[in-house]
Amino acid sequence: MKDFETIVPAGDTRPREVCRTCGFVDYQNPKIVAGAVVSHAGKILLCRRAIEPRAGFWTLPAGFLEAHEQPEQGALREVFEEACARVVLEGLIGIYTVTHLSQVQMFFRARFAGDVAFGVGEETLEVNLFAWEDIPWAEIAFPSVTWMLERWKDGVDGMGDLSRFSVRV
Amino acid sequence: MKDFETIVPAGDTRPREVCRTCGFVDYQNPKIVAGAVVSHAGKILLCRRAIEPRAGFWTLPAGFLEAHEQPEQGALREVFEEACARVVLEGLIGIYTVTHLSQVQMFFRARFAGDVAFGVGEETLEVNLFAWEDIPWAEIAFPSVTWMLERWKDGVDGMGDLSRFSVRV
């Protein structure tokens, strides 16, 4: 059984969860989610989720960054794991923070590295390229997906102003 | 005493550190460092570190993002904690990953919110505004600080290409 207490560790300024048995400090920092808007001839690659939360809804390929990974590498790995696609990143679309989940989501513009080839990964039910007007908006899994798609559609290359940042509390 | 074992938890694909006593899974994800290049009339705010690592060397105000914080908020907080300055963010300069430390560093351009006022925070020995030619390059604490200063100097607003990303392995 987990037996943690909330104390301020030596040299720290904030209360942290510390194990009463071993002294392990469970620092809680935000986690990074990395993903991509992969497009081809104006169509966008979406995945239908096989897992909770929001199983059955459509999302952009994305997932938690692993230790020692770059966000760019994480985005490439997630696109491959969830949509079996090899892609090349072209730039950052935006950074979207979900504060209540302590998630910082970074999405990149991407194109196929070679042939337009994709498939259904383990956490995915279905993968498809959608023209903008065919995107199933009512069946999008998360608000950040909609936000990233809109930023992608803006077609602005720059991240030079804070309109490229968003937060969901 | 910490008594963790390395196993693949149910529903996971990678080995994780799991406590033999309580089953706690210590997921290791990269941590975000948020900071700012605060400038005024072409001069840049640098802090001399009072703490290890690299005590005595100059750095940009920055630090670990706390749970439920936006990177933008974290940058503002760190500038206030380390340099006692109230600033406004103007845009993202770059994202620099230090893979061996599992750190993703995000730095923002910033200006003073009101008066050009700053001071010495708890983790800082000295704070000063430096003209570009007066920056103590040989006494800069970390390679990412030099990289961010160079990106700032480029004066490019856009984050639209991957030259704005860097990695240190």
Q: Do B157 and A160 touch (CB under 8 A)?
A: yes
pLDDT of residue B22: 82
**Least CB–CB distance from B68: residue in A1, A92, A100:** A100
| Residues A146-162 pLDDT 10s | 999 998 988 655 555 55
pLDDT of residue B23: 81
Min distance B98 CA to chain A CA atoms (Å): 8
| Residues B93-151 pLDDT 10s | 888 999 899 999 999 999 999 999 999 999 999 999 999 999 999 999 999 999 999 88
Min distance B85 CA to chain A CA atoms (Å): 19
| Residues B63-100 pLDDT 10s | 999 999 999 999 999 999 999 999 998 888 888 999 89
Establish if B162 touches chain A: CB-CB under 8 angstroms: yes
Residue B55 contacts by C-beta under 8 Å, 6 or more apart in sequence?
B49, B125
A6 is written with which tokens? 């909330």
Alpha-carbon B51 to chain mean position: 15
What are the CA-CA distances from residue A145 to residues A10, A36, A96, A106 (Å)?
41, 10, 10, 11
Q: Is the pLDDT of residue B158 over 80?
A: no
Cα–Cα distance for residue pair B61/B46, rounded to 1 Å: 7
Q: By percentage, how much of chain A surpasses pLDDT 70?
A: 90
Q: What sections of A55-166 are H helices per DSSP?
A: 71-83, 143-154
User: What one-character DSSP code corresponds to residue A140?
Assistant: B
Q: What is the mean predicted confidence (pLDDT) over B36-56? A: 96
Alpha-carbon B35 to chain mean position: 4
Q: Given the structure tokens 């006022």, which residue do they identify?
A: B117
Strands (E), B56-143: 58-59, 62-64, 87-98, 103-112, 124-130
pLDDT of residue B156: 57
Residue A138 contacts by C-beta under 8 Å, 6 or more apart in sequence?
none
Q: Do B164 and A164 touch (CB under 8 A)?
A: no
Q: Do A70 and B167 touch (CB under 8 A)?
A: yes
Q: Do B24 and A19 touch (CB under 8 A)?
A: yes
Q: Which residue has the higher pLDDT, A127 or A168?
A: A127
The lowest-confidence range among A87-101, A111-125, B102-116 is A87-101
pLDDT of residue A157: 54
Phi-psi region of B124 (alpha: psi -120 to 50; beta: other; left: phi over 0): beta
Q: Is the pLDDT of residue A37 over 60?
A: yes
Confidence band for B167, pLDDT divided at 50, 70 and 90 = low
Specify the pairing of strand A165-168 against strand A87-98. parallel
| Residues A45-69 pLDDT 10s | 999 999 999 999 999 999 999 999 9
Q: What is the mean predicted confidence (pLDDT) over B6-11? A: 83
Cα torsion A92, A31, A166, B151: sign: negative
Q: Given the structure tokens 């938690």, which residue do they identify?
A: A64
pLDDT of residue A168: 59
Q: Do B67 and A29 touch (CB under 8 A)?
A: yes
Q: Is the pLDDT of residue B11 over 90?
A: no
pTM of the model: 0.86
Q: Is the pLDDT of residue B13 over 80?
A: no
**Least CB–CB distance from A160: residue in B28, B159, B162:** B159
Q: Is the pLDDT of residue A165 over 70?
A: no
Cα–Cα distance for residue pair B6/B20, rounded to 1 Å: 10
**Least CB–CB distance from A29: residue in B14, B65, B92:** B65
